[in-house]
Amino acid sequence: MRPDILCIYPNSIQKDGDSVFFMTKTEKGVMLGVSGPDMAAFDGEEVSRQGRAYKLCPLTVKNAGEIRKRFDFTNPKSHKGRSITLGLGDRLGLASGGHIRLLRGLDVFPVLAQQSMRELNLTGRTYEEVLADAVWAVFREGYTKGYGADGDHLKTHEEVKNALDCGYTMITLDCSEHIQNRFTSAPQSEVDAHYAALPADTIRALEKDYLGKTFPVDGELAIEFCPADFRRMVLIYLPAIGHVLSIYNELIKGIDVDFEVSIDETQSATLPAQHFFVANELIRQGVEITSLAPRFVGEFQKGIDYRGDVSDFERDFALHAKIADKFGYKVSVHSGSDKFSIFPAVGKLTKGRYHVKTAGTNWLEAVRVIAAHAPGLYREMHAFALENLPEARKYYHIVGEPANIPDIDSMTDAELPGLMDKDDSRQILHITYGLILQAKAEDGSPLFRDRIYEVLAQYEPEYFAALKTLFDRHLTTLGVEI
């Protein structure tokens, strides 16, 4: 059956030579329309309307590639030199249009495509698909101010290479597997024994460079290294520094990519001296760092506000922000969704130069829309999430407990969206997203996925309105005037 055009997105209409492009809502979902000589390059179904031939094309990776060749604004870009950059991971590939609408008039650079390998595995998407979804959102909204694509929390040469080959413009290198956490709490005698086993010339060079010296950061802060702590720090971080150097020199050096060093996945907060040491070693060996993510004090749990003493955070964060500022890169805040109580400090102490990564809570806004408009589907998802929570907990650490969630059988439909305002239910729906999206019925068909996409397509204005409320709160608490 010929898909009927229901409406054309007005901001999507573009010309290239004699060809015209537009995006349109059809009975088969959103599609690309092409007329003119370029039709031949796109996969799709040829149709005619009011005497004019054109092609209706599905939003595939291949068609997105053709759009990227013709319209440079649809290609992701590096964000070097931009003060406020926000990672806006979009797990469903549906939120980016909403994000663009609310950021369009602001001096904020969006990193629209941002997924970790874990998220790719949990959602069953590829890097090509994640980027293509961002391309379509940018094209549909006619957004020409530039956006980024972040291969998030990548760990190996292969992962970094794959993201770069797909056109990603930001690489977040996760060093966690090379950070020797066990030395954080090891007895000093064990630390000293391992340290003494390092190559003598490495030790000599490092001690000459760091011990007995003062490194001024700004007028108030100076870094010094005491020998016992220094030995411990070298053991913890030296292999990670080596890992960064090897990946940087092989894959990143000389290309225009935003390079983020992530040392946040550790057991304890990164000490300012450790942050300084890692950055100083990398920079003096030629690494150009765009941003660095330390682990801050307190807990950054998924889907809920910061847990910890906000004034402790401010004191700790101020030191990391000063070190980042001295070296000229930005401090990066991970798991930044909904950390409203610390955002004022992030905005103020960085003097408005920061990278904040958010991701998961736009999924929770999608769940809220489902709870409001498809309560039956929500009830099924809720029961499934509770049942499969132990599996999700293997990937994500949360405090949320099923015992704190009211029994939904005794709740009215109208009460269901309110579950997205309570920490326990938020966290449980938050971390089970992958299991929900991948769940299969007995016949192998998706249990929830198609219905989720259908509801969100039908209620897109409601979804975008919910995203706006959420992100306006992020931006205003960060100190961005909206």
Catalytic residues: 152, 260
Task: Decide: 235 and 183 in contact? Cβ < 8 Å.
Answer: yes
Kindly indicate which of the ranges 38-46, 298-306, 326-334, 462-470 contains the residues binding Zn ion, using the contact rule CB under 5 A. 326-334
* Residue 411 backbone class (left: φ over 0; alpha: ψ -120 to 50; beta: rest): beta
Whichever of 181 and 202 has its CB closer to Zn ion, that residue is: 181
Please count the residues of this chain forming the interface with Zn ion, following the rule CB under 5 A.
2
Would you give the DSSP letter of residue 446? B
Nearest distance in Å: CB 265, Zn ion? 6
Contact 207, 231 (CB under 8 A): no
124-145 burial string, b = 16+ CB within 10 Å, else e?
A: ebebbbbbbbbbbbbbbbbbeb
Q: Which two tokens stand for residue 362?
A: 């736009």
> Looking at beta carbons only, is 302 or 334 nearer to Zn ion?
334
Residue 264 or 338 having the CB closest to Zn ion: 264
Closer of 119 and 264 to Zn ion (Cβ):
264
Min dist. Cβ of residue 230 to Zn ion (A) = 26
Q: Which of 57-65, 192-200, 328-336, 449-457 is the region at the interface with Zn ion (rule: CB under 5 A)?
A: 328-336
Q: What residues numbered 188-227 form the site for Zn ion, per CB under 5 A?
A: none
* Segment near Zn ion (CB under 5 A); pick from 327-335, 375-383, 401-409, 460-468: 327-335
Q: Which residues make beta-bridge pairs with 80?
A: none
Q: Are 359 and 425 in contact (CB under 8 A)?
A: no
Please identify, using beta-carbon distances, which residue of 264 and 423 lies nearer to Zn ion.
Answer: 264
In sequence order, which residues have a C-beta less than 8 Å from that of residue 317 and are 6 or more positions away? 296, 331, 342, 345, 346, 349
Enumerate the H helices of 388-422 as residue ranges.
Answer: 389-392
Fill in the DSSP letter of residue 11.
G
Q: Does 334 bind Zn ion (CB under 5 A)?
A: yes
- Least distance to Zn ion from the beta carbon of 176, Å? 9
Identify which of residues 79 and 302 has a Cβ nearer to Zn ion in the complex. 302
**Shortest CB 334 distance to Zn ion, Å:** 3
> From CA 58, how far away is CA 158, in angstroms rounded?
30
Please report how close the Cβ of residue 293 comes to Zn ion at its closest, in angstroms.
6
Q: Which two tokens stand for residue 163?
A: 């993201």
Touching Zn ion, residues 342-401 (CB under 5 A):
none
Q: Which of these segments, 48-56, 133-141, 233-241, 331-339, binds Zn ion (CB under 5 A)?
A: 331-339
CB 104 within 8 A of CB 465: no
Q: By C-beta, is 334 or 339 nearer to Zn ion?
A: 334
Residue 67 · residue 139 · CB < 8 Å: yes
3-state secondary structure 426-458: HHHHHHCHHHHHHCECCCCCECCHHHHHHHHHH
For residue 150, state whether it binds Zn ion (rule: CB under 5 A). Answer: no
d(CA 301, CA 400): 10
Backbone angles phi, psi at 426, to 5 degrees: -55, -50
Give min distance, CB of 302 to Zn ion, in A. 11
Q: How far is the CB of 155 from Zn ion (least distance, A)?
A: 12
Planar angle of CA 316, 480, 289, nearest 5 degrees: 55
Q: Which residue is nearest to Zn ion (CB)?
A: 334
Smallest distance, Zn ion to C-beta of residue 393, A: 18
Q: Which tokens is 153 given?
A: 């929390």
Q: Which is nearer to Zn ion, 357 or 368 (CB)?
A: 357
3-state helix, strand, coil in the chain (%, to 5): 50, 15, 35
- Residues 232, 183: contact at Cβ < 8 Å? yes
Q: Is 226 exposed, middle or buried (0-12, 13-18, 19+ CB in 10 A)?
A: exposed
Contacts (CB under 5 A) with Zn ion, residues 247-276:
264
Q: What residues make contact with Zn ion under the rule CB under 5 A? A: 264, 334
